[in-house]
Structure 1
Amino acid sequence: MATKSSFHFLIAVILLVSIFLTLVDGTSDMWKFSEFFSRRQTSWQLVASEKREANLAKIPPDWILEPQLLEDGRTRLSIVGDYIEDLLDDKARYITEMDVPELVAGMKNGLLTAVEVVTAFCKRAAYAHQLSNLLLEIRFDEAIERAQELDAYFKEHKRLVGPLHGIPVTLKDQFHIKGLDTSMGFIGWIGTFEGEKGTGKERNVESELIRELNILGAVPIGKAPETNNNILGYAFNPYNRNLSTGGSSGGEGAMQALRGSAFGFGTDIGGSVSMPASFQGVFSIKPSAGRISFKDTANTGEGQEVMPTVVGIMGHSVDALQVIIKSLLSLKPWLHDPYALPIPWRSEKEYNPRNELGYKPAFGFLANDGVLTPHPPISRAMEIVKEALANKGHQLIEWDWPHHRETLEIHSLIARGDGCPDVYEAIQLSGEPFAPEIANLFPNGKPRAPLPLPEYQQVVSRMKEYRERYLDYWTATAEQTGDRPVEAIISPVTPYAGVLPGKFYPSTYSSSVNVLDYASVVIPVTFANKDIDVVSPNFRALSDEDSMNMNEYDSEIYHGAPAAVQLVGRRLDEERLLSLAQLVVEALNDYKAALGE
């Protein structure tokens, strides 16, 4: 027995000596053992780092910002407007300041080429990404190649491919584009198809929306991240980097603020398009479910269809939003997506109240939901819109609905009632930590128990009953107007002009829109001003929760943040809502012009 033990000991010594000698002379790969164990411990960080480096390699060398310039940009409070524009040449600056209708007209008249337009926006997007980490996926080369094809088509046929010919677009990283990853910010999804390997679908699936954009002539140039993720980090507001971009389509909101594309798409189940648009001072539309196709789009909670995630659009004018949604509907998406409603773009004559001679649409006015009092910049934005419409002779009816708080519970139980096991599983694939914004979903590091089916059905019944009561209240406003019910409601998007990271409180202003499945359009109004937007000494909090919310507001910190409102329309009434939004914009422009602004 002793002899056998001695033999084993001798073998172990020989192996150790061998390993030592190979480490010294470098003739073996044994040195990689220590690196291997290090990689095991931090594998998610390495995968994220490799993804960032691969992305950076897709940016042309002459678009890479100098380290000193990059450092300067990353330390500035604001990088919108003049700062990012000064990085561009005159031509790129001129093109990227144009809106969708102008760009289309320029290419149709032969004054611009698709290559010029796409290249200019790709360059600006490259700068935006380097300054703010806003692209999980980059496809500049492919985009410029597609622009060349569009120019060749125009040269041969003397017409545009479609109504969005040559228009650069970015999208939240939920939409599948062939040749690109779709990670949704999950490290474990990189190089896979929604977390699965070996399916043959990796980088080989195309969302229905992408198919439609290609037919219309639009050119995807990249995909933007969730507001906070372990691949790119936190997306700060480019207007005021004390603040968040808002979630969850925050990366796309920031890309629009920096005009890295002509328009963008996000997804929304609780204000996830509307909030980033309002925080970044851009326009958006969140339609009712079924108006824009969600087919073959990555998502969490895919089986939840009673309050589904919808596709929303961000852009720089109401006109642009209208052109985009009208173009998408022209392709009859319901022929390809069973959940797309067969509702074509409806005639502007029928769905545009402005066409009725002498008719002045009335609006509901929701200044305070009775849960969270809007911060001073938002209250001022609301008053500006109120005065602008009153100057045009429009009635504004106080929206005195006392049941807003109900939507918070209904929304939470429906959207998170399953305990979010798919989110948990996606995070476990890589071992990455939970982003702070979702850590509360997993107490003790595990998903909550799902809501039992009978209880879930009760919540759905409660939602249906809530929708009925709300519609009855809306219809009854005809008694106050003396004519017909109000056409739309003006309300805050959230109580905040931006959010301090980690300081977000759920808001009925956004949750109610999804619970009701109503459409909403975000309209930028003004900017927070530290000399004007201060908390009144007469402010009395509605609750401890309201007090905490207002205590988070600091006029110095919020200075310069965009302040917006939303126009909320009834279910599936997008055409009418967009026409009303344009009416509000025109009233605002006249109001500001009268003040010399």
Structure 2
Amino acid sequence: MCKASWHERAAAKVADTASKIPPHWRLTPNDLQRARETKDLTGPFIESFLSSEEISITRLASDALVSKIASRSLTSLEVATAYCKTAAIAHQINNCLHEIFFDKALERAAELDAYLENHGTTLGPLHGLPVSLKDQFHVKGIDTTMGYVGWINTYQGISSSDKIHKTESQVVTDLLSQGAILYCKTSLPQTLMYGETINNIIGQTLNPLNQRLSCGGSSGGEAALQALHGSSVGLGTDIGGSVRIPAAFCGTYSLKPTPKRLPYGNIADTNPGQRSYPATVGVMGTSLAALKLVAKGLLDTEPWLRDPDVVPIPWRTDIETETLARADEKGRAIPDARPLKIGILYNDGYMTPHPPITRGLHIVSRALESAGHKVVPWDPPSHKAAADIHLAFLVSDGGHDVHKQLALSGEALIEPLRNVFEFKDPISAIEIQDLSIAGRNACAAYYDYWNSRSADDGQDVDAFVMPVAPHAAVIPGCYLYTGYTEVVNLLDYSACVVPVTRADKEVDVLDEGFQPLNEMDKKNWELYDKEKYDGAPVGLQIVCRKWEEEKIWAVGKIVDAVLREYERREGSIA
């Protein structure tokens, strides 16, 4: 009875969400069948359901959208309608949305157009910008399930709460105050703690660029929607790689700030009492400009006045400007100025990246050097050891919070997480203290290493580049190691993901003489299939020290410009 009950509740939720798609935007059974049979749903496929005007609007970057709305070249209603329709089609072919509230978005857009007409100015820097949200953010009048069946039509599983559909995350309030339009919430994995996107409500979200692969997680629906241009910018969260993994897998951009830089108040979470290594709100988008636009827009509201956890640091334009001044518009180092000094980590000593990732790292290295910047090897303390400390905190409650949420409906834990969240006793306060000391020591060792890299030339390393994962967008069920992302969470560093290239079966062949570092490395290497991975996006993360969001964004912009110029000059990135 219990099993049937949760299946029925999940099915009813899926049907309710689908019913919110306007009839004239619904696809035919033949269209849906074609989608199932098509490898790449992006570009020509999804655009076949859109008008030329809608394609033009949804191809614009976020900053261009707000500029055109402010100049009245486009109306908020035109933009919102184009994005709602594209998101509706994206969901039907890619299963990437948990919540749809297009009616509220269109009503809001009309109000913003009236505001601009009556006041002659915009409401704020995000005026008319559609922003999608991972399904952790509370929006008034809308469900937040976070992938749990037991949370449907409740407040975080509490069916008697007076907060049901009446709670708003602070970051949502701040987005609205700056003129944003909210229109949908995107899919995520049950528990949030998985590098793919699957739950018992909507099933699995795959990679729209290659449906044989995963879109990543936990903010997977966000990246999938953006790859389909159903969103130009959105918010996710990151506690172990959750805005970086999907962006890298789907060929988009993301910014992971240091925790407590952006407000996390009233955001649903797994094991929310674990505050030693908290999650952070991250920004994901189809352009680097989108990341700054939203991050700065949120900081301009002075969120630290309403959220006691937020550090009182506004967006520091001087740091951004100073960093950008070290390169020209094509990313080339400026003569007589200090070039960037960038570390490159090819292998963390535990898991060897697949050939497409290694090639991507070499591309970045060559492109930076050809642009006049300094590139140095990066061989820091063990990432595996740091990641193990971080994971120990994430599961320190013995899975009690996860199993409490599962028990609300009787739903099963998704298969990939059954070992990770096996129900057991929480660790003791003494163990927590020991782990805290180990984490502090790991951070200190990394800082010492970073500082030592200035010994050769007296110049500090500005940032380092490394894989997001040891593979491109992974084959579903084959994600074995999150050490490349979790180490950044343990260190609290700032990180930015930029797309670099695509896997190429003709170029990215296995090294027959490869010697695995360990059994897990051997298993990961054996999972590489050049045919399945062909065409998969290769994104890499750029990492700065903590509280350096402005700098990492600026470094990301320079690196991205260098890569695009390198591609133009060489004919292709290979």
Give the TM-score, by structure 2 length. 0.95
Identity %: 42
Distance 1:71 1:351, change over 3 A: same
Q: Corresponding residue for 1:564?
A: 539
1:58-457 residue pairs with structure 2 within 5 A?
Answer: 58-226=20-188, 227-348=197-318, 352-355=322-325, 358-443=337-422, 447-457=423-433
CA distance in 2, matches of 1:317, 1:251: 17
Deviation at 1:351, TM superposition (A): 6.0
Aligned AA (1:308): P
Aligned AA (2:233): F
Q: Residue 349 of structure 1 contacts residue 355 of structure 1 at CA under 8 Å; is this kept in 2?
A: no
Q: Corresponding residue for 1:6?
A: none
Look up the SS of the partner of 2:254 in the other structure.
strand
Q: Corresponding residue for 2:193?
A: none
CA distance in 1, matches of 2:165, 2:322: 42
Q: Residue 352 of structure 1 contacts residue 575 of structure 1 at CA under 8 Å; is this kept in 2?
A: no
CA distance in 2, matches of 1:288, 1:345: 13
* Greater share of helix: 1
CA distance in 2, matches of 1:485, 1:349: 16
Q: Corresponding residue for 1:512?
A: 487
Look up the SS of the partner of 1:110 in the other structure.
coil
Deviation at 1:40, TM superposition (A): 5.2
CA distance in 2, matches of 1:243, 1:548: 18
Count the aligned residue pairs: 555
CA distance in 1, matches of 2:321, 2:392: 35
CA distance in 2, matches of 1:209, 1:330: 12
Q: Residue 275 of structure 1 contacts residue 494 of structure 1 at CA under 8 Å; is this kept in 2?
A: yes
Deviation at 1:419, TM superposition (A): 1.1
CA distance in 1, matches of 2:519, 2:490: 25
Q: Residue 124 of structure 1 contacts residue 259 of structure 1 at CA under 8 Å; is this kept in 2?
A: yes
- Per-residue CA shift, 1:399-428, capped at 9, x if unaligned? 112422211210111111111211111111
Structure 2, unpaired ranges of 5+: 189-196, 327-335
Aligned AA (1:189): W
Q: Residue 3 of structure 2 contacts residue 411 of structure 2 at CA under 8 Å; is this kept in 1?
A: no
1:537-556 residue pairs with structure 2 within 5 A?
Answer: 537-556=512-531
Look up the SS of the partner of 2:455 in the other structure.
helix
Alpha-carbon RMSD: 1.2
Aligned AA (2:412): P
Look up the SS of the partner of 1:327 in the other structure.
helix
Look up the SS of the partner of 1:485 in the other structure.
coil
The 10-residue stretch of structure 1 (559-568 or 341-350) with the greater mean CA deviation from structure 2: 341-350
Q: Does 1:574 align with 2:549?
A: yes
- Per-residue CA shift, 1:477-532, capped at 9, x if unaligned? 1112x132100011111111011121111232101100000010000011111111
Q: Does 1:489 align with 2:468?
A: no
Q: Residue 143 of structure 1 contacts residue 219 of structure 1 at CA under 8 Å; is this kept in 2?
A: yes
CA distance in 1, matches of 2:319, 2:31: 52
Give the TM-score, by structure 1 length. 0.91
Deviation at 1:354, TM superposition (A): 3.3
Q: Residue 441 of structure 1 contacts residue 448 of structure 1 at CA under 8 Å; is this kept in 2?
A: no
Deviation at 1:352, TM superposition (A): 2.9
Deviation at 1:347, TM superposition (A): 2.6
Q: Corresponding residue for 1:12?
A: none
CA distance in 2, matches of 1:249, 1:103: 23
CA distance in 2, matches of 1:569, 1:111: 38
Larger-Rg structure? 1
1:458 to 434, 440, 453: 434
Deviation at 1:293, TM superposition (A): 0.6
The 10-residue stretch of structure 1 (567-576 or 538-547) with the greater mean CA deviation from structure 2: 538-547
Q: Residue 300 of structure 1 contacts residue 423 of structure 1 at CA under 8 Å; is this kept in 2?
A: yes
Aligned AA (2:115): Y
